[in-house]
């Protein structure tokens, strides 16, 4: 079935293919040694050694930003390594681009699905490799080929002629797997594929993994759910800060030891002292339920920093969005200073005194082609200041540039030309100009360098001391632990527990990742 | 004291990054070329002619500039021009008070602009399809009012707004100047103008900053309809008739002018002064080719080429802007 040879690009791939046939002992299908990948200001991977063997399911675990996705992207040919070697079937090869990666026998099932929803199942599976005669697609041959592939992974129930758009997420992932098998992939990567799946659907994907493994191929599975690791993995590789801290058989691990391995790092003194004194309650959520979160209740006080922790997709951002009028409440209440608010849109939230520094600065925070001054006064002009704002705006921008130490030649500079940290300071200033009561920060230090990060931490602290109520979402545990007075841990759209700001990373991760309640 | 040449050189050096410098050069080159080809070109009378003939493009171009800076588009302006012109003429020719006729035309312009806005903002149909729909609806309205006939027999005051000249400028030109001043003020000096740039530059960021995106876009499309109605009144007053066939291809001239003027198709970038220069290029191109005796058919080819050249220029400018953006480290999960 899957042993059909895909037409390969001539050259080293041919050599690899023949090496595969003649290789006497089962060496690794895929390996990397001393792999390094640098981004401006960040070392994403350093000295990474990894081996993937035939007939195994290897789980990669680690915090957000630990380097798992970066390593996948190096194998997939999206990023080029800076140093070190990568080998396929024992032969050293530089992976040039995604097509090259594919021809080397690697396939990737990503969280964001890369299926074409408007095409049928068979057209998706055979996309780019259609069974055709003189340009005409042979539909029945396509259908039977697709059927065989789907049956081989236990998804024979999917009709090849169905539209992909009508399938469930797990079924769409199965289509991607069938496509990978059709392309003769030997190593199939699953990048957090189960994050958006329910338990039943996830089971189906695990069966697919077992099938792939049974054929002497390899599965690399990135997941944050440690119970899944215990269930399917043969081997576990733990990532931390761009390095691999441990790799071994799953029997050598327990869920607790995995968490410990993922953490084990000191929080440096970049964080200000947490001796703030929160006063009266400003914001209160009572059983807030939306499409994405259920029954979320908490309070936020003046002068307090509260963090929402949890995995990507656990509903943290959605809580902020509901407070900012971007998510419709199906039930529950949002109160500001005791008054029911339930904002219908951002304008209502802002007028009530709420500001949001959004998750993706570039696509949601700034207008890159306009000046620092315009970006800074965007919410203030015409709202807080109705008349004479043009002259005052320039003064205001200058004040904030001084006060916040925004490094820019002048307030007229295009914001797109500033560094990430300075752009973020402008976005924060935009809200401070409107005199808010509550500031929502979604990943405020994403993509900014270390120095700018500690500046941002001091800023957040001084804002809280100035009487602002701050709700912080961050995927960086150090940040959450270093800044927050209280930590609300989210899991699957609900608050799984509340921890004191002096808690440990392990406690937070346990609440966020483990299905069993530990507190 | 620096000499005049040093000052000129200094000015030119400062202008080297001005995006308008390319279009101004094109305009000047056109004037130089046509001046050498025809001795009737470089006269005050001819320049008055051109300014009169481009006035409608400028009036409508001002409003469309705002729409396009906000990353919208309006293809319906030519048909709305016909529908509103015919409405005013039909009512005036049938004895309705002239000013009431004008008022009706303005009302129809607003309504058709609002129709665009409802399609785009309310029904979330892309601007190109929305305004293509309105384009045909408006043309249909024009023909329904006066099937295949040019309306004549208008009252004598009909010519009041569109003919004559004041301060050495033809009346339509004065309307255009007023529009340019008003819309420059809107775009450069008002909160609305800032919001237009913000919506075009990054709609999501604008929305999250509390800009009422829907209300702003609604305002822009209705303003365009209203501006078209004014242009229609001035134009048909000058022509002395109401013609359901006017304005065919007008949307093309307007868009060419706006794009030539440096408004980015991707939104967020553009100026009223650029649109004026763009409109003058369109006007001088037609006028010059006419004077030189080139067949009208060639003018289509010239204008079509100008549009494509303008879009290519826009892309180069855009690419330069993008390359300046700082790269960021992607984050692993």
The DSSP code sequence of A499-513 is EETT--HHHHHHHHH
- A290 sits in the region (left: phi over 0; alpha: psi -120 to 50; else beta) called beta
Q: Is B206–A40 a contact, with Cβ atoms under 8 angstroms apart? A: no
Question: Which of A192, A363, A419 has its CB closest to that of B204?
Answer: A363
Label residue A40 by pLDDT band (50, 70, 90): low
Query: Measured between beta carbons, which residues in chain B are less than 8 angstroms from residue A70?
Result: 330, 332
- Indicate yes or no: CB of A430 within 8 angstroms of CB of B209: yes
Residue A413 contacts residue A371 (beta carbons within 8 Å): yes
Percent of chain B with pLDDT over 90: 64
Dist. CA B161–CA A143, nearest whole Å: 71
Q: ipTM, 2 decimals?
A: 0.81
pLDDT, residue B21, reads 73
> pLDDT tens digit string along A151-208?
888 888 899 988 988 888 888 888 988 988 888 889 999 988 877 677 777 888 898 8
pLDDT at A375 exceeding the cut of 80: yes
CA distance B327 to chain A (A): 8
Q: What is the mean pLDDT of residues B295-305?
A: 87
Confidence of residue B19 (pLDDT cuts 50, 70, 90): low
What are the distances in angstroms from CA B162 to CA B52, B237, B238, B285? 9, 5, 4, 23
pLDDT of A428: 95
Question: How would you classify the pairing of strands A486-491 and A494-500?
Answer: antiparallel
Q: SS3 of A452, please?
A: helix
A450 Cβ under 8 Å from any chain B Cβ:
no
**Percent of residues, chain A, with pLDDT higher than 90:** 44
Average pLDDT over residues A407-416: 90
Q: Which residues of A touch B186 (CB under 8 A)?
A: none
Which residues of B fall within a CB distance of 8 Å from A362? Answer: 328
Banded model confidence at residue B319, pLDDT cuts 50, 70, 90: very low
Residues of A numbered 161-200 whose beta carbons fall under 8 angstroms of chain B's beta carbons: which are they?
191-192
CB A240 within 8 A of CB A265: yes
Token pair listed for A354: 């709420």
How large is the average pLDDT for residues A11-20? 42
Give the Cα separation of A71 and A81 in Å (integer). 9
From the list B209, B328, B329, which residue is nearest A378 (CB)?
B209
| Interior angle at CA A224, CA A76 and CA A328, nearest 5 | 100
Give contacts of A389 with chain B, Cβ < 8 Å.
191
Give the C-alpha separation, B252 to B307, whole Å: 9
Q: Scan residues 198-217 of B and list those with Cβ closer than 8 Å to A.
A: 198, 201-202, 204-212
Give the one of B194, B204, B333 whose C-beta lies nearest to A381's C-beta.
B194
pLDDT at residue A41, as a whole number: 58
Helix ranges (DSSP H) in chain B: 4-14, 20-37, 44-69, 77-93, 98-117, 127-145, 171-189, 191-201, 203-208, 213-239, 250-260, 272-292, 296-323
Tell me if A313 sits within 8 A of A195, measured CB to CB: yes
Does B16 contact A at CB distance below 8 Å? no
What residue ranges define each of the domains in chain A, with the CATH number in brackets? 53-76+105-262 (3.40.50.300), 266-353+436-519 (3.40.50.300), 368-435 (no CATH)
Q: What is the mean pLDDT of chain A?
A: 86
The confidence score (pLDDT) of residue A519 equals 41
Position B265 pLDDT exceeds 90: no
Backbone angles phi and psi of A25, in degrees to 5 = -110, 155
Lowest mean pLDDT segment, chosen from A424-433, A473-482, B55-64 = A473-482
pLDDT at B315: 65
List chain B residues with CB under 8 Å of A78.
Answer: none
Binary contact (A191, B333; C-beta < 8 A): yes
User: Of the candidates A91, A77, A76, A79, which has an alpha carbon nearest to the alpha carbon of residue A29?
Assistant: A91
Q: Which of B208, B321, B333 sits opposite A369 (nearest CB)?
A: B321
- For B:307-326, CB contacts with A below 8 A are 321, 324-326
Residue B328 clears pLDDT 50, i.e. is over it: no
Confirm or reject contact between B191 and chain A (CB < 8 A).
Answer: yes
CA distance B112 to B134: 7
For the ranges A7-11, A293-297, A382-386, B150-154, the maximum mean pLDDT occurs at: A293-297
Q: Which residues of A touch B203 (CB under 8 A)?
A: none
Mean of the per-residue pLDDT values for chain B? 88
CA–CA distance, B42 with B39 (Å, rounded to integer): 7
Does residue A379 belong to the interface with chain B, where contact is any CB pair within 8 Å? Answer: yes
Strands A30-39 and A42-52 come out as antiparallel
- pLDDT for residue A390 is more than 70: yes
Question: Does B187 reach chain A within 8 Å, measured CB to CB?
Answer: no
Give chain A's end-to-end CA distance (angstroms, integer): 50
For A378, the closest of B194, B321, B331 (CB atoms) is B194
Binned at pLDDT 50, 70 and 90, residue A517 comes out as very low
Residue A1: what pLDDT?
Answer: 40
pLDDT of B2 reads 61
The 8 Å CB, 24+ separation contacts for A154-162 are: A154/A204, A154/A207, A154/A208, A154/A211, A155/A204, A155/A208, A158/A121, A159/A121, A160/A120, A160/A121, A160/A122, A160/A125, A161/A120, A161/A121, A161/A122, A162/A120, A162/A121
Looking at residues A267-282, what average pLDDT do you find?
A: 80
Per the rule left: phi > 0, alpha: psi between -120 and 50, beta: everything else, A435 is left
Q: Which residues of B touch A347 (CB under 8 A)?
A: 210, 212
Averaged pLDDT, B75-99: 94
CA dihedral B28, B34, B39, B44 (to 10 degrees): -40
**Cβ count near A284 (within 10 Å):** 20
Q: Which of A67, A378, A415, A421 to mutate to test the interface with B (most CBs of B within 10 A)?
A: A378
Contacts of B202 in chain A (CB under 8 A): 363-364, 366-368
**Cβ <8 Å between B332 and A222:** no
Q: Indicate the residue of B204, B268, B331 with minimum beta-carbon distance to A369.
A: B268
Residues 6+ apart with CB under 8 A from B8: none
Nearest CA among A347, A401, A350 for reference residue A372: A401
Asked if A347 lies within 8 A of B212 by C-beta distance, the reply is yes
In terms of CA atoms, which chain A residue is nearest residue B191? A382
d(CA A1, CA A25): 24
H runs (alpha helix) in A183-278:
199-214, 226-232, 255-262
User: To the nearest whole angstrom, how far is the Cα of A274 from the nearest Cα of chain B?
Assistant: 28
Instruction: Give the pLDDT confidence of B26-75 residue by residue, as tens digits.
Output: 889 899 999 999 889 999 899 999 999 999 999 999 999 999 999 999 99
Q: List helix spans (H) across A266-419.
A: 316-323, 346-352, 372-376, 389-403
- The rounded percent of chain A whose pLDDT value lies above 70 is 90
State the Cα–Cα distance between residues A75 and A48, nearest whole angstrom: 13
> CA of B207: which chain A residue's CA is closest?
A346
pLDDT confidence bin for B314, thresholds 50/70/90: low
Q: What is the mean pLDDT of residues A380-408?
A: 88
Closest-CA distance of chain A to residue B174, Å: 29
Asked if B331 and A67 come within 8 Å (Cβ–Cβ), the reply is no
* Full set of structural domains in chain B with CATH: 56-315 (1.10.3470)
pLDDT at A515 over 70: no
Tell me which residues of chain A, numbers 24 to 43, contact chain B at a CB-CB cutoff of 8 Å: 39-42
Enter the tokens of residue B120. 């785009």
Phi, psi of A294 (to 5 degrees): -125, 130
The residues, any chain, with a CB within 8 Å of residue B32's CB and separated by 6 or more, are: none
A321 lies within 8 A of chain B by CB:
no
Question: Given the DSSP bridges, would you call strands A243-249 and A235-240 parallel, antiparallel or unpaired?
Answer: antiparallel
- Spatial CA neighbour of B206 closest among A374, A399, A342: A374
From A412's Cα to the closest Cα of chain B, the distance in A is 14
Q: Which one of A44, A64, A416 has the shortest CB-CB distance to B324? A: A416
Q: Are B331 and A446 in contact (CB < 8 Å)?
A: yes
């Amino acid at each position: 079935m899957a042993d059909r040879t895909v037409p390969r690009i001539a050259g080293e791939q041919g050599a690899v293919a023949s090496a595969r046939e003649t290789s006497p002992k089962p060496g690794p299908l895929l390996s990397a040694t001393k792999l390094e990948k640098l981004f401006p200001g960040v070392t994403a991977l350093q000295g990474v050694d990894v081996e993937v063997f035939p007939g195994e399911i290897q789980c990669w675990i680690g915090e957000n930003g630990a380097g798992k996705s970066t390593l996948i992207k190096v194998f997939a040919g999206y990023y080029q390594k800076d140093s070190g070697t990568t080998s396929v079937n024992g032969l050293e090869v530089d992976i040039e681009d995604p097509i090259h990666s594919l021809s080397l026998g690697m396939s990737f099932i990503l969280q964001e699905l890369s299926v074409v929803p408007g095409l049928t199942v068979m057209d998706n599976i055979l996309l780019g490799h259609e069974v055709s005669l003189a340009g005409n697609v042979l539909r029945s041959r396509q259908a039977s080929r697709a059927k065989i592939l789907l049956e081989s992974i236990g998804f024979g129930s999917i009709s090849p002629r169905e539209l992909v758009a009508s399938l469930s997420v797990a079924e769409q992932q199965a289509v991607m797997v069938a496509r990978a098998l059709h392309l003769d992939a030997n190593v199939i990567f699953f990048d957090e594929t189960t994050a958006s799946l329910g338990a039943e659907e996830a089971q189906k994907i695990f069966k697919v993994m077992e099938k792939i493994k049974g054929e002497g191929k390899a599965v690399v599975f990135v997941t944050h759910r440690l119970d899944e690791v215990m269930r399917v993995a043969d081997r576990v590789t733990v990532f931390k800060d761009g390095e691999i801290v441990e790799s071994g058989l799953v029997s050598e691990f327990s869920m607790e030891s995995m968490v410990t391995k993922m953490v084990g790092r000191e929080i440096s003194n970049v964080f200000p002292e947490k001796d703030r004194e929160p006063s009266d309650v400003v914001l209160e959520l009572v059983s807030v339920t939306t499409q994405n979160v259920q029954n979320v209740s908490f309070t936020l006080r003046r002068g307090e920093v509260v963090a929402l922790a949890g995995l990507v997709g656990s509903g943290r951002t959605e809580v902020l969005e509901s407070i900012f009028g971007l998510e419709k409440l199906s039930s529950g209440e949002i109160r500001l200073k005791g008054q029911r608010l339930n904002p219908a849109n951002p304008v209502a939230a802002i007028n009530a005194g709420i500001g949001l520094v959004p998750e993706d600065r570039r696509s949601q925070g700034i207008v890159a082609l306009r000046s620092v001054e315009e970006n800074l006064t965007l919410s203030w002009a015409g709202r807080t200041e109705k008349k004479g704002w043009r002259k005052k705006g320039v003064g205001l921008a200058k004040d904030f540039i001084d006060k916040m130490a925004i490094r820019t030649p002048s307030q007229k500079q295009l914001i797109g030309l500033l560094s990430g940290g300075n752009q973020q300071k402008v976005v924060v200033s935009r809200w401070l100009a409107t005199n808010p009561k509550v500031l929502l920060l979604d990943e405020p230090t994403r993509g900014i360098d270390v120095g700018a990060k500690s500046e941002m931490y001091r800023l957040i602290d001084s804002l809280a001391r100035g009487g602002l109520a701050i709700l912080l979402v961050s995927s960086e545990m150090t940040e959450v632990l270093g800044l927050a007075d209280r930590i609300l841990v989210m899991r699957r759209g609900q608050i799984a527990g509340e921890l004191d700001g002096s808690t440990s990373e392990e406690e937070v991760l346990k609440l966020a990742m483990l299905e069993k309640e530990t507190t | 004291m620096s000499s005049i040449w040093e000052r000129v050189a200094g000015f030119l050096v400062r202008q080297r990054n001005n995006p308008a410098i390319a279009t101004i050069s094109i305009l000047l080159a056109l004037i130089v070329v046509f001046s050498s080809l025809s001795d009737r070109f470089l006269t005050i009378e001819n320049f008055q002619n051109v300014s009169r003939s481009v006035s409608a493009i400028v009036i409508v171009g001002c409003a469309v500039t705002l729409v396009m800076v906000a990353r919208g588009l309006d293809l319906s302006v030519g048909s709305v021009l016909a529908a509103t012109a015919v409405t005013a003429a039909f009512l005036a020719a049938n004895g309705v008070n002239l000013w009431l006729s004008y008022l009706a035309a303005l009302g129809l312009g607003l309504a058709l602009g609002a129709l665009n806005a409802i399609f785009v903002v309310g029904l979330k149909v892309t601007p190109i399809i929305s305004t293509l729909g309105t384009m045909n609806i408006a043309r249909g309205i024009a023909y329904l009012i006066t099937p295949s006939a040019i309306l004549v027999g208008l009252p004598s005051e009909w010519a009041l707004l569109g003919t004559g000249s004041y301060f050495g400028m033809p009346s339509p030109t004065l309307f255009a100047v007023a529009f340019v001043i008003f819309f420059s003020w809107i775009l450069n000096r008002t909160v609305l103008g800032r919001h237009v740039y913000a919506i075009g530059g990054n709609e999501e960021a604008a929305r999250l900053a509390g800009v009422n995106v829907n209300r702003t876009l609604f305002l822009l499309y209705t303003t365009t309809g209203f501006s078209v109605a004014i242009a229609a009144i001035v134009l048909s007053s000058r022509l002395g008739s109401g013609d359901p066939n006017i304005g065919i291809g007008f949307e093309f001239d307007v868009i060419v002018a706006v794009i030539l003027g440096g408004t980015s198709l991707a939104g967020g970038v553009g100026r009223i002064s650029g649109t004026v220069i763009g409109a003058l290029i369109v006007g001088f191109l037609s006028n010059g080719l006419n004077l030189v005796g080139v067949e009208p058919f060639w003018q289509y080819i010239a204008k079509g080429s100008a549009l494509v050249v303008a879009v290519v220029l826009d892309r180069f400018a855009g690419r330069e802007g993008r390359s300046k953006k700082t790269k960021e480290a992607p984050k692993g999960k």
